[in-house]
Amino acid sequence: MVVVAAALTVLCGCVRPGEPVPQPLDLATLDVGSNSVDPLTPPTTSTDKYGRVLESVRMGEAALDPVEVDPTLTNGVANRTAPLPTPLKAAGILAEPVRKVLESQDMLAGFAVSGSDVNFRGRAPEVGVARLLTVLLLRFPDDTKARLAARQMNATDAAVTPDNVSVRIAEYPGAFAHWRPTVPTMAATLAHGSFVVSVLAAHTSPDQVALTGMVRKAFDVQLPRLRDFQPTPPDRFADLPLDRDGMVARLLPFGAGHWSTPTVIAADTDANAGWSSSIAISGVVFGPRATRLMKHFGFRDPIEVVAVNGNNLVERFPDAVSARRVFTEERRAADPTTLIDTPAGVPDVYCNKLDQHPASPSQVYCHVLYGRYTASIVGRNPAHAERQAAAQYALLVRSE
């Protein structure tokens, strides 16, 4: 029977060697609304402002994974793994008074990564109910400014609350740390060359030994990664490419003909260092390590790189086979009670209604596949999402 089956396969030509290619489609039949489906060309010149964002994104490739510090920290924390290109953005995670320290020492770029042993599903983490870790990598012009920044950051943060007391990290005599004995958190800073590693750790109880252990292990893991990182000279920031691998050009822009420039928007509702910040990112492409660190997005292996415009994403896989496998698995896993109509004519797409959140106007999520790329699009309503998804699909096709 095996021989017969093999013979039939050869005769009918059902299996052909080579790379699978998407089925051609008349894009004119798609309802894309007012969206343009012509790939944009990135601007020929950049700025230092954009370069700081792009260098901060690069620093994500040098960040630790929280599970390397504590294997239970498998969950990402929404909006707290992100580039931090300016003191204002970094202050969204650190205590607000620390912003003046970062400005005075001429902070150049930064990146933050967070992890938790509890999945807070988009909510701000609640201190005392979970193990939490946030690590910031902040870059300064030279070693001297980094050392001053580390000392002043700790002193300024500690002064916010009179209950704070100093903590010594025996293995790192150059580190500065503090905590409140009745609160299960600890903050620490350590200069390493022209970088400062800032750690904010939280536990389920005010256990100084456990918190100190998390801080120490974070330094143990992070410092070797920084040694392998090759920073871009500050006078070359504006030379960093605005579109790595043409990924931003494949991502639906916010407006027709409007290039999505590298942007980070951060907000915080707490004067103390904590977990109440919210960070939105647009016009950037994350490398493979940073992509895997952004666990709150639920990115799947083997995604190579991701372009981000707020809630909209384009993911690139090594090949069309792996892209389709992941897309199919995610479609099968989607809650069938939330599935809604999809844009007519798009061959590979599914859409879901989202849980309503008072702070977000988004109602519908659509996921499309084309070749080795998948894209996630969020819309205000079903009609808007369908046109956005159709336009995103057409843009992926036109970008080949």
* Residue 256 confidence (pLDDT) above 90: no
Q: What pLDDT does residue 220 have?
A: 98
For residue range 154-199, list pLDDT tens digits in order: 999 999 999 999 999 999 999 999 999 999 999 999 999 999 999 9
pLDDT at position 20, please?
60
* Beta strands, E only, 238-343: 263-267, 278-286, 305-309, 312-316, 339-340
In DSSP terms, 375 is beta-bridged to 314, 368
* Confidence bin at 124 (pLDDT 50/70/90): confident
DSSP letter for each residue of 276-304: --EEEEEEEEE-HHHHHH-GGGT--TT--
Q: What type of residue is 176? A: F
CA–CA separation, 389 and 372 (whole Å): 17
Q: What is the pLDDT of residue 269?
A: 44
Q: Are 394 and 377 in contact (CB under 8 A)?
A: no
Band of the pLDDT at 277, cuts 50, 70, 90? low
- Residue the block writes with tokens 């919210």: 278
pLDDT at 103 over 70: yes
Q: What is the CA radius of gyration of the chain?
A: 23
**383: pLDDT confidence band, cut at 50, 70 and 90?**
very high
Residue 294 has pLDDT above 80, yes or no: yes
Element (H, E) at 83: strand 82-83
CA dihedral 98, 103, 108, 112 (to 10 degrees): 20
- Asked if residue 241 has pLDDT above 70, the reply is yes
Q: How far apart are CA 382 and CA 197, in angstroms?
A: 44
- The torsion region of residue 106 among left (phi > 0), alpha (psi -120 to 50) and beta comes to left
Strands 176-179 and 165-167: antiparallel
* 181 Rama sector, left if φ>0, alpha if ψ -120 to 50, beta otherwise: alpha
What average pLDDT does this structure show over 60-81? 94
Residue where the block lists tokens 């150059």: 174
Question: Following DSSP, what letter does each residue of 12-51 receive, concatenated?
Answer: HT----S---PPP--GGGS--TT---SPPPPPS---HHHH
| Domain spans in the chain, listed from the N-terminal domain onward | 27-43+242-398, 48-227
pLDDT band of 17, cuts 50, 70, 90 = low
Q: How far apart are CA 35 and CA 229, in angstroms?
A: 39
Closest CA to 160 of 262, 270, 56: 270
48-227 in CATH: which number? Answer: 3.40.1000.70
Q: Residue 87 in contact with residue 102, Cβ under 8 Å?
A: yes
DSSP at 190:
E
Whether 123 shows a pLDDT value over 90: the answer reads no
Tokens standing for residue 172: 């790192």
pLDDT in tens, 37-48: 999 999 999 999
Contact between residue 315 and residue 367 where contact means Cβ atoms under 8 Å apart = no
pLDDT of residue 216 exceeding 90: yes
Of 37-51, 97-111, 119-133, 207-221, the one with minimum mean pLDDT is 119-133
Please report, for the chain, how many H helices and E strands are present, in that order: 10, 15
Residue 122 scores a pLDDT above 80: no
pLDDT tens, residue by residue, 75-90: 998 778 999 999 999 9
CA distance 141 to 161: 30
Task: Tokens 């893991």: give the residue.
Answer: 221
Residue 361 has pLDDT above 70, yes or no: no
Q: Output the pLDDT for position 21.
A: 60
Residue 22 has pLDDT above 80, yes or no: no
Contact 383, 342 (CB under 8 A): no
